[in-house]
Every structure is written in C-alpha cells, then in structure tokens.
C-alpha cells in the first residue's frame, strides 16, 4: 500500500504536504499521526514538528478486480470485467468465451466466487460494500426461471392440496422464491433445514 511520511509545523501542514506529494485528496487517504508538534519550554528548546503517515486507500472495486484477474489468470481464462457502482453495492459482470465453468451447477460456483471476493475485499474494512458478481446476465435469467418455477409449483400445490418441498437452494435463491409468492392468499412458503441444505416448502393455506 502506498504511503508517505512527512513533517510540518502542524498536523494539517504535514498532511497537506503529503497530499501534494501523492497527488491525492483527503478523501482518498487515511492519516496516522506519528507525533504531535510540541512547543519549546520558555523558548529554550527548539519546537518539534508534527510527523504524519498518509496512506492511500485502495478502492474496493479495484481490489475486487485485481483479485478476480489473479484467479482467472491461474485458471487460464480470458475474461472481460465490467464494474458498475451503485450506492453501497459494487456490480461486477464477467464476459468471455467458455465461462460456464464460473457458473457451475445452478450457480453454485458463481456464488462461491462471489462469497470469496466479498470476504477478501471487505476484510479489515470499516465501510464494507456488498459485491455482486454475474456472468453475462446469468443471475437475471436464473431469477426469471425461479420466479416461473415458483408460480408453477404454487399452482400445483393449490390444485393438489399437498405441500411441495424444493431442492436445497442458496439464501439468495430462496429469497427469490419467497418474494415471488408472498402476495398469494392460497399458499404460503417457509424454509426448513440447515445450510447448505436448507429448502423451501410451499404449502396450501387451509
């Protein structure tokens, strides 16, 4: 991590010199005061200057991209990485040939990759940000598929009057199912089991 140590008559002066040296703004750095300035006693001793260490923050999006690049390099994959930041969420969309390996069965590999990047990038960060990783719009297509499945199974439950238990899903996919059916008054949904085998149950209202 890039940093500069400077001295000045005051802390602000020392920080200002460091920022000028680094070509950065105060929002882009962290300041560590090494030593406060001290005045001489009755003018008999020389004034001690302030000493600061100014550290350039590493943007979380850049950190995430660099981590992904190192992973893809080891996997010998050619991947275009597109980043979009909205409020507290960083969206990363991956494009390239033969990226099915990054999705895995029902998105399991993609979820694992997303978990790894979130864990690594947000480590020791005061202001954490959620990172969502997608591969060529897979998550949108998967969400649409789950919504259609939810409606189809709910209708089946209503007709047969018997509960249906779905296969284990991630918390993100379970949320999609719950949300798709939450407005229905003929059925209700709940989750049972422990992670990673937690399942959704769709039951008829009696």
Q: CATH no. for residue 164?
A: 3.30.1370.50
Residue 96 lies in a domain: yes
Distances (CA, A) of 125 to 26, 87, 113, 118: 18, 17, 19, 11
- β-bridge partners, 58: none
Residue 63 lies in a domain: no
Residue range(s) defining the domain that contains residue 199: 140-204
Determine the straight-line distance between the first and last CA of the chain, rounded to whole angstroms.
Answer: 62
Residue 43 lies in a domain: yes
Mean pLDDT of the chain, nearest integer: 88
* pLDDT 10s digits, 138-157: 999 999 999 999 999 999 99
Q: What is the pLDDT of residue 198?
A: 92
15-42: average pLDDT: 80
Please determine, for residue 130, whether its predicted confidence score (pLDDT) is greater than 80.
yes
Report yes or no: 50 and 7 within 8 Å, Cβ to Cβ. yes
Please determine, for residue 114, whether its predicted confidence score (pLDDT) is greater than 70.
yes
Q: Which backbone phi and psi does 44 adopt, to 5 degrees? A: -85, -20
Instruction: Give whichever of 14-18, 36-40, 71-75 has the largest mean pLDDT.
Output: 71-75
Q: Model-level pTM? A: 0.66
Q: What is the pLDDT of residue 103?
A: 93
Q: What is the pLDDT of residue 40?
A: 61
175-188: average pLDDT: 94
- Are 77 and 130 in the same domain? yes
Q: What is the pLDDT of residue 144?
A: 95
**Preceding peptide of 166 cis, ω within 30°:** no
Residue 38 lies in a domain: yes
61-78: average pLDDT: 92
Alpha carbons 83 and 119: distance in angstroms, whole number: 18
* Residue 46 binned pLDDT confidence (cut-offs 50, 70, 90): low
Q: What is the pLDDT of residue 19?
A: 85
* Residue 22 binned pLDDT confidence (cut-offs 50, 70, 90): confident
What is the number of domains present in the chain?
3
Please determine, for residue 159, whether its predicted confidence score (pLDDT) is greater than 70.
yes
DSSP string of 10-51, one letter each residue: SHHHHHHHHHHHHT--GGGEEEEEEE--BPPSTT-SPPBPEE
Report yes or no: 200 and 191 within 8 Å, Cβ to Cβ. yes
Q: What is the pLDDT of residue 43?
A: 54
Last residue of a domain, one of 116, 136, 156: 136
């Amino acid at each position: 991590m890039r940093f500069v140590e400077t001295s000045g008559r005051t802390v602000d002066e020392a920080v200002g010199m460091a920022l000028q040296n680094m070509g950065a703004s105060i929002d882009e750095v962290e300041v560590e005061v090494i030593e406060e300035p001290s005045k001489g006693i009755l003018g008999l001793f020389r004034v001690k200057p302030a000493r600061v260490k100014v550290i350039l923050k590493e943007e979380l999006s850049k950190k995430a991209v660099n981590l992904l690049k190192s992973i893809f390099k080891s996997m010998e994959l050619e991947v275009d990485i597109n980043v979009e930041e909205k409020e507290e969420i960083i969206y990363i969309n991956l494009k390239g040939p033969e990226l099915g390996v990054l999705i895995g069965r029902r998105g399991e590999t993609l979820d694992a990759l997303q978990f790894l990047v979130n864990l690594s990038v947000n480590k020791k960060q005061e202001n954490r940000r959620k990172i969502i990783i997608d591969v060529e719009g897979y998550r949108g297509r998967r969400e649409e598929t789950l919504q259609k499945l939810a409606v189809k199974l709910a209708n089946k439950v209503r007709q047969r009057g018997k509960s249906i238990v779905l296969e284990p899903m991630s918390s993100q996919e379970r949320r999609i199912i719950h949300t798709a059916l939450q407005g229905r008054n003929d059925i209700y949904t709940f989750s049972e089991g422990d992670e990673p085998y937690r399942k959704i149950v769709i039951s008829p209202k009696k």
